[in-house]
Amino acid sequence: MTKEFKFPDVGEGITEGEIVKWFVKEGDEVKEHQALGEIETDKAIVEMPSPYSGVVLKIAIKEGETVKVGDTLVVIGEKGETVESKPSEAKEPALKPAGVVGYLEEAPEEETKPTKVLATPAVRKLAKELNVDLSTIKGSGSGGRITEQDVRAVAKTKEKEPELKVMRKYDMWGYIDRIPLKGIRKIISGHMTKSAFTAPHVTHFDEIDATKLAEVREEMKKEAEMKEIKLTYLPFVIKALVAALKQYPRLNASLDEENETIIVKKYYNIGIAVDTEAGLMVPVIKGADQKSIYDLAKEASELAENCRNRTIDLMDLRGGSFTITNIGSIGGIYATPIINYPEVAILMTGRMYDKLVLEDDKIKIKKFMPLSLSFDHRVVDGADAARFVNVVKQYLENTPMFLP
């Protein structure tokens, strides 16, 4: 008996994915839980385990194609079984002129009668709405009756038929390249658009005196190296961030628009933006408030590496309550980061730089770290955002809190 393996609804807002690679081909025998292939969903590439044992009778989606929740991925059955193909576009019989002198045609042995279409009024109405010709459908219901599922299946097949489009490789100014908007880039595009057009963004800028912080980090790097840990400034910023979130919990929240409720998170799961060849990914450090500087550094490094080699677990990309991003390693100073919706704020750190300052009537060279905080003005007021950044500054400039 044939069984269809359909792309399941795994929740978390995932509605589609892209087939990256098939490990099997039609005719191969597979066992239950065996990996059939890889699918890219919501910034992660995951393997698809087979829910059944048997023979792969049909692979419904090709590599590189997009599949939506509920679409059939593969059909699995027993050896020797075949998959019944659904009727494709049936052509209507050509009209034959009747009673015209001189029209020569071999007369049929029997007069053909139009086939009666068995369908309820509701099904006929649906077929009209979906522009489906009922005479082309072989009904799967009792006595050949056409069901609603039959009509929707044919309509779905028509939707998948590619339209022939001529895409020019030049415009009026010269030659161009076209890059398909798909995969991770398509997901990022949709997510950023929703965030920008849903949450009213405001960005607050400031900077911290990071002179002592740089000294403490240099001291702690020696112990970190002994533990084979790369110690960046990120763990220190996360520590200060969590301390500030405890004082201003509304920045560790999301907005439930449907129920008109601000949901304040009592956990501190910090997302860290990671730049990869495939696009921006945001893995999440769970329970950041319970981890040491070294623990945070190690976990951040491992998550970033998993993102870059595309082995990140889907759950590691979920559950964030606040996000931090860094452009300092690339060279920027300030920017206006887009909130990782439905969170209500995101903190960006810029490139650390040296600045001349007047202190105790003396000119000194000090290190400064720029900060950019974007927040959802529906939930957070500008004054609270400024106070929040001040707390982050106090913790980062008060280096003893970071000592082991």
What is the model's pLDDT at position 158?
66
Q: Determine the pLDDT at residue 13.
A: 62
For residue 333, what pLDDT is reported?
Answer: 92
174 and 255 both lie in a single domain:
no
Q: How far apart are CA 20 and CA 276, in angstroms?
A: 17
The verdict on residue 100 lying in a domain is no
Catalytic residue among 33, 201, 204, 377: 377
Cα 190 from Cα 328, distance rounded (Å): 26
Looking at the domain assignment, is residue 89 inside a domain?
no
In a domain, 341, yes or no: yes
Quick one: 174 and 278 in the same domain? no
Strands (E), 198-289: 201-209, 253-256, 261-264, 270-272, 274-276, 279-281, 284-285
Residue with tokens 């990071």: 210
CATH number of the domain bearing residue 165: 4.10.320.10
Kindly report the length of the chain.
404
Q: Same domain, yes or no, for 266 and 322?
A: yes
The enclosing domain of 253 has a CATH number of 3.30.559.10
Task: Please say which residue of 178, 210, 226 terminates a domain.
Answer: 178
Does residue 97 belong to any structural domain of this protein?
A: no
Give the per-residue pLDDT at 226: 93
Which residue is associated with the tokens 């970071």?
Answer: 402
Instruction: Give yes or no: residues 65 and 140 share one domain.
Output: no
Averages of pLDDT over each 10 residues, the chain, 404 residues: 82 75 92 88 77 91 86 88 56 42 42 64 84 85 84 76 65 78 76 86 95 92 93 95 96 90 95 90 95 95 93 90 92 92 95 91 94 96 96 86 54
Tell me: do 174 and 247 sit in the same domain: no
Residue 254 is encoded by which pair of tokens?
């999301």
Task: Clarify whether residues 45 and 141 are in a common domain.
Answer: no
CATH number (domain holding residue 9) = 2.40.50.100
> Quick check: is 260 in a domain?
yes
β-strand partners of 149: none
User: Do 233 and 376 fall within a single domain?
Assistant: yes
Q: What pLDDT is recorded for position 244?
A: 96
Of 130, 151, 178, which residue sits at a domain end? 178
CA pseudo-torsion sign 298, 299, 302, 303: negative
Last residue of a domain, one of 55, 82, 109: 82
Three-state DSSP state, 36:
strand
Decide if 106 is inside a domain. Answer: no
- The count of domains in the chain is 3
**191 and 170 together in one domain:** no
pTM score: 0.66
- 222 and 354 housed in the same domain: yes
Decide if 33 is catalytic. Answer: no
In a domain, 340, yes or no: yes
Domain of residue 189 covers 185-402
Shared-domain flag, residues 247 and 350: yes
Indicate left, alpha or beta for 366 from its phi (over 0: left) and psi (-120 to 50: alpha): beta
**Same structural domain, 253 and 151:** no
pLDDT at residue 215, rounded to an integer: 92
Tokens for 329, please give them. Answer: 């390693």
The answer to whether residue 94 is domain-embedded is no
The pLDDT value recorded for residue 42 is 63
Whether 157 and 289 map to the same domain: the answer is no
Q: What is the pLDDT of residue 104?
A: 38
